[in-house]
Copies of this chain bind each other. A is one copy, B any other.
Amino acid sequence: MAQAREVKMQAEALNAFLAEVYPQIADDFRIDRVAPMEADIRLLTAERHLRPGGTVSGPTMFALADLGMYAVTLAMIGPEAMTVTTNAALDFMRKPASGRDMIGRARLLKLGRSLAVGDVLLYSEGMDEPVARAGMTYSIPPRR
């Protein structure tokens, strides 16, 4: 397990990889920080992410949680584009603040050979209390 806990991709490498495999969202999200079993991801909030009233939409928050889990998993296993979400459980607790980026703080709780399990807390930047919490499971394809 010790070995699994070494970071294999830092934030810069993750951002480059995301831009390559998901070019259509590369302007929306940015990995801010990576540490063993942890990653912080930022939603660069723009008009297209908002619902009427100025709050970030549910699907955008889902995307932030999903990419946070993807980022922390890839940080630990290296570039594996085929890693896919199998389960997501989200609690929406508070309205996001309007006019702010959102930050997803992802941590891995288990990094197995075929499944990774983690959670992501979503914050409006500068706020102490989380807007949402997501538990996520990823399926990791077998090594060739």
Q: How many copies does the complex hold?
A: 4
CB of A46 within 8 Å of the partner chain? no
Task: Report A60 CB to chain B, min CB distance, Å.
Answer: 7
Q: How many residues of chain A are within 8 Å of chain B by beta carbon?
A: 39
Task: Report A61 CB to chain B, min CB distance, Å.
Answer: 9
CB of A130 within 8 Å of the partner chain? yes
Listed residue (A58, A63, A85) with the most chain B CB atoms within 10 angstroms of its CB: A58
In the bound assembly, the distance between CA atoms of A136 and B12 in angstroms comes to 35
In the complex the two chains form, is A52's CB within 8 Å of B137's CB? no
CB of A44 within 8 Å of the partner chain? no
CB of A16 within 8 Å of the partner chain? no
